[in-house]
Each structure stands twice: as C-alpha cells, then as structure tokens.
Amino acid sequence: MTSGNRDQRLADLGRRQFGVVSRAQLLTLGFSPRAIGRFLTKRRLRVVHEGVYALGPHSLSRDGRERAALLAIGPEPLLSHISSASRHDLMRFTATVHVSISSRVQRRLEGVVVHRPRRVDPEDRVLVDGLPVTSIPRTLLDLAQILPRTRLEKVIEAADRKGDLDIAAVQDAMERYRGHRGVKLLKRIVGSFISTPTANEGIERQFQLFLRKHRLPLPQANVLVEGLLVDCWWPEARFVVELDSQGWHKTWQAHERDRKRDATLLRAGISSLRITSHRLHLDGAEVARDVAAGLRLRPSGAF
C-alpha cells in the first residue's frame, strides 16, 4: 500500500470516527510504530487516552470524546447512564463520559466513568447517532442507581413527552435484571404510571375514600361542566378536580389538550385541580389541603 493510499484511508476513518483513531487501527492500516511516533512528534496525532489519538491539534467534539472513550475501553463497550440518556435526548450532555463494559477490564481514563455491570443483554444494546448505547429501559434502570428520585422522574417525563416511554419494555428490563440496584426506585416511580382497563374506576374509588378520610365534602362525579365531562364537580364552590390514573400522560398532545380544558374552565370562572394517582399516594396531606383551598374551606387538623 502506498503512503498516499494509507493516508487517505486514515482520513476516511477519522471522518467516520469523529476525528479519533486507535493504535490498533493505525497498525491495521499499515502504519509502523515508528511512523506513529513521527506523527505524534509532528502533532498530526494527539494522545487522548492511552492507545487512542485525535487527528490534528483541534479540540474534540462531544462525538469525538465519546468515540475516544469507547475505543479506549473495549471490547464491546456502550455509552450508558447519563451519556446514554443524553444520546436519547432525555438529559443534557455532560463533559464526563459514562461507559459500561461487562468484561473485567481495569482501566482509568481521564474524564470517563467506567461502569462494570455483570451483563447487558443484546436487546439493550442499540445504536444512536452511530454510537453503541444502552436502550432506554436499561438506561432508566442504570440512572435509578445514581440519580435522586426527583431527577429520575424528570428523565422519565422527558421520555414520555418524546413518545419513547415503553412501560412494558421497562417492566421487562426490571424483570430481566432483578438483582440490579436500580430496580427498587424505578419500580416505585413507574408503578403509578402502569395503566389497566379499570384504571379510571380505580382512582375515582380511591379519591372518594380519600375525601371521606379527610372529611371533605363529596362531589358530583362524571358530569358535564361547560360542555366538558369532568371527574369531580362541586357546583357551590365552582371547583373541578380531574383525576389522572397515570403519573404522566402518554403523549405531549394529551398534555396540551388538558391545558386547553383547564383554560375553558378558567374563562367560565371555575377553578380546577389535577391530581395523579402518583401524587395521591405520596403527597396525600398536601393534596387534601389543595382540595380544601379549592372548596374555600378552612384548614383543619384532619388535613
């Protein structure tokens, strides 16, 4: 192979890999150890990690830093945790790269967090932007191990808004990785989001019992108000409660429809409150105070 062909193949590889190459790839292309040394001296190559180089002196892009980490940590590594969530557009990109590898490779890389799960199943290995990453269900499971609940809920909400939240797939992942430390938290969060054919009846019954427990007046149920079928209506207080059986809506369009319903009631001088099954169970005392405020009742010790 001529040096010209060799250099062209290197340039092509660099473009495909966002400006980074490994030493093993250079040797495969026909570069000798001495040639690699000359390139380093002339700054045609720059060390990113041991055995991984950037082509030229310019700073690497996000893609380049992540590809460099994958090349350095092999075999069969995956972007995971926050890096995977960022690739799936569920979190903001951070400078620290998170990589998972199932083998017992012991490497320390600057700017890289290396996770060593016992295994990652084939169905949880996907490509995003040409880079190997963990699937969304596996990513949520991994994030449940390192994020506080409030931040994880925001990631799940982001997946839901994008239409990428597959509850059945998340359940399947939790079942396949039963020993994973993220299962407990993830199960608590998605539990209120899992719907059943009788989900609406379930939360309506729960809310009726909730009102009795907190000694709050019972509403008219499933009645038309301003042309809208509402879940709970207190005509004297001109107050509506809408009950959502799921923690978050399945689509962003549904979210927008709800806001339009709220605006219709507001124009008619009717205040409204949305209550999810998730919040009813976790923030019961606060929900009771919210309902009492909507009914213009004085707070009492019962709340």
Does residue 197 surpass a pLDDT of 60? no
pLDDT (mean) for 18-30: 93
pLDDT (mean) for 153-178: 89
Per the model's pLDDT, the better-predicted residue between 26 and 2 turns out to be 26
Minimum mean pLDDT range among 119-123, 127-131, 275-279: 275-279
pTM, two decimals, is 0.64
Angle subtended at Cα 51 by Cα 49 and Cα 55, rounded to the nearest 5 degrees: 75
Q: Does 132 sit behind a cis peptide bond, omega within 30 degrees of 0 on the bond before it? A: no
pLDDT at 206: 82
The half-sphere exposure of 55 on its side-chain side, counting CA atoms within 13 A, is 20
pLDDT at 1: 57
Does residue 106 surpass a pLDDT of 60? yes
Per the model's pLDDT, the better-predicted residue between 165 and 66 turns out to be 66
Give me the residue spans of the domains in the chain.
Answer: 3-55, 62-191, 199-294
Q: What is the mean pLDDT of the chain?
A: 87
pLDDT digits (tens, 9 = 90+) for 8-19: 999 899 999 999
CA-CA distance, 254 to 259, in Å (whole number)?
Answer: 9
The helix (run of H) or strand (run of E) holding residue 81 is: helix 81-87
The arrangement of secondary structure in 199-294, i.e. its CATH architecture, is 3-Layer(aba) Sandwich (3.40)
pLDDT digits (tens, 9 = 90+) for 57-97: 888 999 999 999 999 987 889 999 999 999 999 999 988 99
Are the CB atoms for 183 and 174 separated by under 8 Å?
A: yes
pLDDT (mean) for 220-229: 92
